[in-house]
Structure 1
């Protein structure tokens, strides 16, 4: 029995009783139950008013049982209300009960701990009844608090009671209970009747271990206690003493259930504490039964269901606490948690983790508060850049500064907003890492950082920034908890449809060898269609072959956890890759199949466009630029057909700086008036297999038009991004051969120690793209179809739209490629140059392309 006054208003809040049939519904052998508290029922032997020593004034009964009672009294000396526990008068002469009563008083008085109720005084009434006084505590039992918590909770999680009790608070209360028991063990005392009904949570947040009536000193042998055991019934589910069986069955360890008092020690209390924790986790005691005998038999038959399993169907419970609970309740004493102190430390460790987690989650909430700001700044920056782009599109390079200021202002605003977004992101990162400093295992923080570094890794790999990619990948591996495993493995898939179907597909992987990406054969993938064929991350070249069809090179980029499905924007099905019929292509015609590719994105090149993934329709481009021999054939055909004026207009002409005469023809004419090579002279040499140069955009267009008339194929100049795709393939490489710049790979100024010069179009075989197109990074640049615009060609819904420049449009035209007079850096694929349509340069020539409505 203990001095406790339940709060009536709080008792009314109990919605759902704990299904503790094994521990409630009957008084203990000492009559010390909470069932009588505040009930208004006067137990047997309890008087409405009794005569007390002069120091105390009787204020009435608090609770009572078979052998004693607790009364509220006023200590007139100190003017305070305390609780007085007394034996009933009818038991005043029972030696064993007097001995037990005095032992309880002495033991409790020796345990000076905040979790153990303090005794103030003891004595004997004139009628021989023993008494002692103690602090009166107002509150509820732990079992009542558990009942209320379960009523406020559900499968989705623990709630909070009206009084503010949460699962974590009750676990904290349990830890303090375990500390109080550890204190008792340190003083050589074991409780032997630990159960939720004997544990008190006070109104002021105090936690108390009550009812030390069965406590004993470990180092003192207890004599057998005679008693009227006929009053004790094993059919009752609650039992405090039956012969040598002491305690409450549902919470007692096996050695106690067997009545083996020689084994009653600290380990027995540890087991009972584990049983209390079991009740807190699962909402019920470890064992259930309709009688004490049934419960005792269950205890002796083996351990209860693991706490985690028993908790299923209710609020989720921590695995760590379940493990602590299960270990404390192991049947063998040697296997249990070694001490109550160790159990308390384990629970406190979990609580410390929970507290740190809550603090870390609060820090993470602060980090998330930056999300909206970052998104808003990025959106505003994009809008400012869009406005700048619109303004730039109406500008010409030679427009005055005043005309450019509005566009510059928008560019500056976009840059300012971008910097602000970057700073906000830095604060976001700092806050997330701050959360991890509080809880290094906070899964939510690791997930955010993993997502962040995954995005950085994808960006770095697309930008071919190996150092940043390596850093981002390592950071992703550090923070990922499995969600990005497929992305980190780098596996992807390929889907491919051809026209006609049944084409054989040979897989070659681009492998870095001597600074070049070289296609190395791997295996045959079988006939098309191919559907989600697994492939590792990387850049590949597929060779498509079918009887009666020309071979087509089809580069693909398998990105991390990606699927190359060949679907055009807005389409549901893969786009069929057409294989031209034999004879449809000329000997130097190269097919660039329709599909996605990466363009732009190179800050190191002049006027590079932003990085974009776009769909470009299939086209055919000539393997080599137009040679001097081919161009002379064009001019002479015009002469022979009586179109001499057109031939003269299209003839290469020496630009200023090479000749004092600005429009001096660079080619000679023979006696019949046909064009031929001139003799070499200083600053200007010609060879038939060199790319033609010194022609303007109009002449280049005229040649393409003539070729179309002659062949019946719609030849034209290549679009700017068509030529870029023909150079880079689909993986965004910077040069036709990869990302590494070596001047021996292309015809550029420092290719050899001798004087720089053009060379034959079949020179420098390393200057070859994934499609087999040659001479793209050096030798001669190419005129393109488009007007030069700051923001590049028109792209709608992810598709490139070709807009051919009108002949009379004076705006600049796009020029692409490297040159024999320049550094190799100028030959990077994203580089963009512009020239007036009427200028002629010794580094600019022509290459032709056409659309590919190939026969199917």
Structure 2
């Protein structure tokens, strides 16, 4: 301690080691006394600063309880109730706003007190370590909401304070490691035709932003599996798993800051191997979406992580040409009434009048050459109800002996977003030239060919998920949450309930929140902007 060293020098045996004079000794004692007082003042400032945290938490707790009461009251009110009935609700909301604002002031005052403490004692590590924690919180919040400018500013301030802490200080060591962003990867796989894990190769690609599009760039081969704790910088990656006799699997992964990635639903459940389907089990237009976590929801209110089981989806929506085969098969099977029931509606591109597809003189259906919306052979079929889409899926399942169905909306969303929460299948940059919406063409006349807009492709190879047609999904439409905890849940069937349609369409004005768009439609509705695609679970025993 400094005082002990002063006493030791003053009482040294040899004169040359003692203070030269009483004045020099007095100056040393005065300096020590000044430092003690400074440390006391700094300690009081830190205590006052930390008390502001307690004050803020109390205020936020009161605000939260008010919000809960307000939400309950709001559920009990109807939009058409008179204004007087809503005054109590508004007062609760306004009071909660005031309490939250006061809490923010308390936290701001905390930082001001900590800055005052570091100004009085620049070498004192205590207040500086607390400030470092504050800027790390700022960094975390900005990174979570994708605010790169604020994140960079928070990182600069954080590094500034860490640089003034002793090199051996635990906060400095922990936070510098955290800032490096290094994570790790573990991976194993399984197949239906081999009991032991077969050998193969894993190629690593990193998604890089090029002209507002995330493109996979080859990094290196990770060799044969299993992989155990392979160090990787944080970021969005794609693994290409190649095993003899299996289809090549494209596995997008997201390495979060300092996190370890493995195929695991949650910490309470065992790690899963990634299932590799047999090469013969996938058709040329089948896209395999392996089981795993994905970010889903609304970019405005925040995405949530949900586990989605492995699924196979068709690369494109069902086209007019494919649907025509279905109708004519029904006719050939003497099921003409069913064919008429499931025949699409078409709209005149000049008058807007609606027409049903009609068979020709032979009783078979053909694509009209009249100026009707949606008669391009390889464009997505529209004007079909949810029931018609289900009928097509059942026919395709019988024809192929594979359990095709409509996708659940979260299967659809994972197929579109991948696992890194991107706003569009290709990444950032919602330019209308990349997907079929109203502003994508000078003269919109209906859905585009599935060969058009090649940029509208997801990390798994599915196309036309951002635009072209809204797509019917299997599940009942419910506003709000679509998951139970971190797991996709299929709701109970409800006769007559609205069904979910996802994505934007050729009639959408733009691409804003294209992958968040969801609407509930009458299952009997037939519209010129709604089509569908097929999906199926990948059952390992049926590969």
Common fold, TM-score beyond 0.5? Answer: yes
- When residues 843 and 642 of structure 1 are mapped into structure 2, their CA distance, relative to the original with a 3 A threshold, is same
Contact 1:748 1:756 survives alignment (8 Å) = no
* Aligned partners of 1:814 and 1:834 also within 8 Å: yes
* Match for residue 147 of structure 2 among 465, 475, 492: 465
Let me know the Cα RMSD of the aligned residues. Answer: 3.5
The CA deviation at 1:346 is: 3.5
CA offsets per residue over residues 549-596 of structure 1, 9 Å max, x none?
001111110011111122113544321111001210111111111111
Of 483, 489, 492, the residue aligned with 2:180 is 489
1:498 pairs with 2:180:
no
Which residue of 357, 363, 369 corresponds with 2:42? Answer: 357
Q: Structure 2 unaligned runs (5+)?
A: 163-170, 192-196
Q: 1:254 aligns with which of 4, 7, 14?
A: 14
Which of the numbers 158, 166, 190 marks the counterpart of 1:476?
Answer: 158
- The 5 Å alignment of 1:94-243 reads none
Deviation (angstroms), 1:349: 4.5
The residue number in structure 1 matching 2:524 is: 838
Match among 204, 212, 222 for residue 525 of structure 1? 222
Alpha carbons of 1:731 and 1:460: their partners in 2 closer, same or farther (altered >3 Å)?
A: farther
2: CA distance, partners of 1:413 / 1:785: 40
Q: Which residue of 2 aligns with 1:229?
A: none
Q: 1:726 to 1:453 in 2, by over 3 A?
A: farther
Kept in 2: contact 1:777–1:827 (CA 8 A): no
What's the counterpart of residue 642 of structure 1? 334
Deviations 1:683-728 (A, max 9, x none): 6252111011111211112211221222222211111111111111
1:372 Cα deviation after fit: 3.4
Matched, 1:380 2:61: no
Residue 506 of structure 1 aligns to a residue whose secondary structure is strand
> Which residue is equivalent to 1:310?
none
Pair 1:437 & 2:134 matched: no
Shift of 1:536: 0.1
Higher mean C-alpha displacement, 619-628 vs 362-371 = 362-371
Match of 1:576 among 273, 283, 299: 273
Q: Secondary structure at the match of 2:439?
A: coil
**Secondary structure of residue in 1 paired with 2:438:** coil
Q: 2-side partners of 1:644 and 1:733: how far apart?
A: 45
SS in structure 1 of the partner of residue 281 of structure 2 = coil
Pairing partner for 1:802 from 463, 483, 490: 490
Q: Report the equivalent of 2:482.
A: 793
Cα distance in 2 for partners of 1:701, 1:455 equals 49
Within-5 A mapping of 1:589-604 = 589-603=286-300
Larger Rg: 1
Is 1:619 aligned to residue 316 of structure 2? Answer: no
- From 267, 281, 284, the equivalent of 2:20 is 267
SS in 2 for 1:611: strand
Say which SS state the counterpart of residue 439 (structure 1) adopts: helix
Higher relative contact order (CA 8 A, sep 6+): 2
1:425 Cα offset (Å):
3.4
**Does the alignment pair 1:679 with 2:364?**
no
User: What pairs up with 1:653-802 in 2 under 5 angstroms?
Assistant: 653-654=345-346, 662=354, 664-665=355-356, 667-681=357-371, 684-755=373-444, 757-796=446-485, 798-802=486-490
Give secondary structure in 1 for the equivalent of 2:429.
coil
Rounded Cα–Cα distance in structure 2 between residues aligned with 1:841 and 1:524: 48
Query: Partners in 2 of 1:780 and 1:716 — Cα distance?
Result: 18
2:100 aligned residue (421, 440, 449):
421
CA-to-aligned-CA distance 1:95-121 (integer Å, 9 cap, x gap):
xxxxxxxxxxxxxxxxxxxxxxxxxxx
**Corresponding residue for 1:284?**
none
- Aligned positions, number: 523
- Kept in 2, the 8 Å contact 1:793–1:801? The answer is yes
Cα distance in 2 for partners of 1:387, 1:576 equals: 44
Scaled by the length of structure 1, what TM-score is found?
0.56
How far has the Cα of 1:383 moved from its partner? 4.9
Question: Which stretch of structure 1 is more off in the superposition, 786-795 or 732-741?
Answer: 786-795
User: Does the aligned pair in 2 maintain the 1:508–1:519 contact within 8 Å?
Assistant: yes
In the TM superposition, what whole-angstrom CA distance separates every residue of 1:401-437 from its partner, at most 9, and x where no partner exists? 459x999998996796477335413422322332321
Structure 1 Cα separation of the partners of residues 64 and 501 of structure 2: 33
Q: CA deviation at 1:773?
A: 0.8
Query: What SS does the aligned partner of 2:440 have?
Result: coil
Distance in 2 between residues matched to 1:524 and 1:602, nearest whole Å: 34
Task: Please state if 1:563 is matched with 2:260.
Answer: yes
CA distance in 2, matches of 1:533, 1:429: 41
Quick one: distance in 2 between partners of 1:833 and 1:479? Answer: 49
- CA shift for structure 1 position 838: 1.9
Give the equivalent residue in structure 2 for 1:821: 507
Cα distance in 2 for residues equivalent to 1:631 and 1:491: 50
- Distance (Å, rounded) in 1 between the aligned partners of 2:289 and 2:97: 37
Deviations 1:630-653 (A, max 9, x none): 111111112212222222121111
Please state whether the residue corresponding to 1:267 is helix, strand or coil: coil
Sort the Cα spacing of 1:525 and 1:401 in 2 relative to 1 into closer, same or farther, 3 A: farther
For the structure 1 residues 740 and 650, does the alpha-carbon distance in structure 2 shift closer, same or farther, using more than 3 Å as the test? Answer: same
Q: CA deviation at 1:438?
A: 3.0
Q: What's the offset of the Cα at 1:668?
A: 4.0
Once residues 249 and 501 of structure 2 are traced to their aligned partners in structure 1, the CA distance between those partners, rounded to angstroms, is 27
Q: How far apart, CA to CA, are the structure 2 residues paired with 1:415 and 1:612?
A: 28
Cα distance in 2 for residues equivalent to 1:385 and 1:848: 43
- TM-superposed deviation, 1:733: 0.7
Structure 2 distance, partners of 1:415, 1:599, is: 31
- Kept in 2: contact 1:538–1:557 (CA 8 A): yes
